[in-house]
Structure 1
Amino acid sequence: MLYKCVLQLDGIPQPVEIMDTSASCEESSDAHLQWADAFVVVYSITDKDSFQWAASTIQELQERRPSARVLLLGNKSDLGHLREVEEVEASTLALRYSTHFSELSTAESCEAVTDALDAYLKEIKIQRHHSGLSSGNVSPKQRKLSVTRMLGSLIGRHSPPPQPITELIVLDKEERSKLVRCSRQI
């Protein structure tokens, strides 16, 4: 399932395509991994198993796609009294694999999701700009942004004007198992 929306990045509308990778198992996991150049791995701060899954997923992504960018998102920060994963544990994991990290609560506000994605996408934009300058090529590649249905429904489903876009896949515990079974240009 493909959703479209527009995120504001430094006040500039950026079209985003959101792919629900859990809805279809037609492509292999390698195809999904090659399709994206950035990933968001989501775990619950109230579920130690989901954090362990996130850690193994990030390790697998680093092995299979060492140049891919990864954002580690801890969800359910509003349930701190049920916390099983300490923030320092997740930030240590993020440092170990040189990934970005943020905690948020999708139940409290979808703005936290868009803020985390905005910050992450800005960093990708900066990295692409610097890579383009160092290689002598200042025009970034066109990409697609792929994330899960959850983020698609939180952010919205608006059709953006045709513009270059970025590619990102969000993985959660259930979706990863389906991917494995199947074997913003900004």
Structure 2
Amino acid sequence: MSQFPSSFLLVPIPESPGSDAPHNKIVKIVVLGGSSVGKTALVVRFLTKRFIGDYEANTGALYSRKFTIDGEQISLQVQDTPFVSLEDNSDGISCQEQINRSIYWADGFVFVYSITDYESYRVIRPLHQHIRKIHPNANMPLLLVANKGDLLRARQVPAGEGLRLAGELGGSYAEVSAREGSDGVHAAFQQLCQEVGRLAGGCPGEKRRGLHLARPKSPNMQDLKRRLKQALSSRARAPTAL
């Protein structure tokens, strides 16, 4: 079972090492997917239990918070990312270099698609293949999230297809609605954190052998204050679609 403090601030991870106590295990998760699937909404739901229906274009924010899972203190780092798209007339993907750096950095992966957008579902398989090229032999804890589960009348991706794809990729599957509640989102992310934590092993914060890429950049404080203000004022605004 996880334990989250009731009040906290999403904070950028310091660029200098040593911000985590030596006894804390570091769990690093990256959230990936197509355009307008609700990646940021899911991250905010998981970390704050709040829903924000309107976002500026995501430039890739990296957030950290500490919590206890299975009786162990964990330092969780969550990397939000810009969108991934299919290349024209091919099954390959087009993604920014920032996403590649995040893939190198992460220990666990959250793939997100919208049940109302079949193209976002089509991105997932080539995205997984792309990650496999970067980590050909790694054990990859993976969570496939079908978001916007509240928009059933607009569904384009049957739940069975999501389940089959998760099985094919060797990951777990959850259909959730970032808009309607935090319980399903929290349970899915928590399961992934537990799996990453079990597989982490070694010394806390130990990096993959041979990995010398810089960590993804944290958001600046102005961006962070704006996002926090959005979260705190979200309840006063009428909900809008993702």
TM-score by length of 2: 0.49
Query: Aligned equivalents of 1:30 and 1:91: distance in 2?
Result: 26
**Aligned residue for 1:6?**
66
Please state if 1:42 is matched with 2:42: no
Query: Aligned equivalents of 2:184 and 2:129: distance in 1?
Result: 26
Task: Please give the per-residue CA displacement for 1:66-120, whole angstroms capped at 9, x wherever unaligned.
Answer: 3233211110111222211111111111111212211111001123222111111
Percent identity at matched positions?
A: 29
Shift of 1:127: 3.3
| CA pair 30-3 structure 1, distance change in 2 beyond 3 A | closer
Please state if 1:79 is matched with 2:146: no
**Aligned residue for 1:15?**
75
Shift of 1:143: 6.2
Q: State the secondary structure of the residue aligned to 1:21.
A: coil
Greater relative contact order (CA < 8 Å, ≥ 6 in sequence) = 1
Equivalent in 129, 134, 138 of residue 59 of structure 1? 129
Contact 1:62 1:97 in 2 (8 A): no
Q: Which deviates more, 5-14 or 87-96?
A: 5-14
Query: Aligned equivalents of 1:27 and 1:50: distance in 2?
Result: 20
TM-score by length of 1: 0.61
Q: State the secondary structure of the residue aligned to 1:4.
A: strand
Query: Aligned equivalents of 2:100 and 2:82: distance in 1?
Result: 15
Q: State the secondary structure of the residue aligned to 1:78.
A: coil
Structure 1's consecutive aligned runs of 4 or more residues displaced over 4 angstroms after TM superposition are 25-29
Shift of 1:141: 4.3
Give the gaps of 5 or more residues in structure 1.
133-138, 157-186
Q: Name the structure where helix makes up a greater proportion of residues.
A: 1
Query: Aligned equivalents of 1:78 and 1:26: distance in 2?
Result: 30
Equivalent in 112, 116, 124 of residue 184 of structure 2? 112
Q: State the secondary structure of the residue aligned to 1:108.
A: coil
Contact 2:79 2:102 in 1 (8 A): no
CA RMSD of aligned residues (A): 3.3
Q: State the secondary structure of the residue aligned to 2:123.
A: helix
| CA pair 81-126 structure 1, distance change in 2 beyond 3 A | same
Shift of 1:15: 2.5
Aligned positions, number: 140
Contact 1:9 1:122 in 2 (8 A): yes
Query: Aligned equivalents of 1:70 and 1:141: distance in 2?
Result: 21
Alignment of 1:137-176 (within 5 A): 139-142=202-205
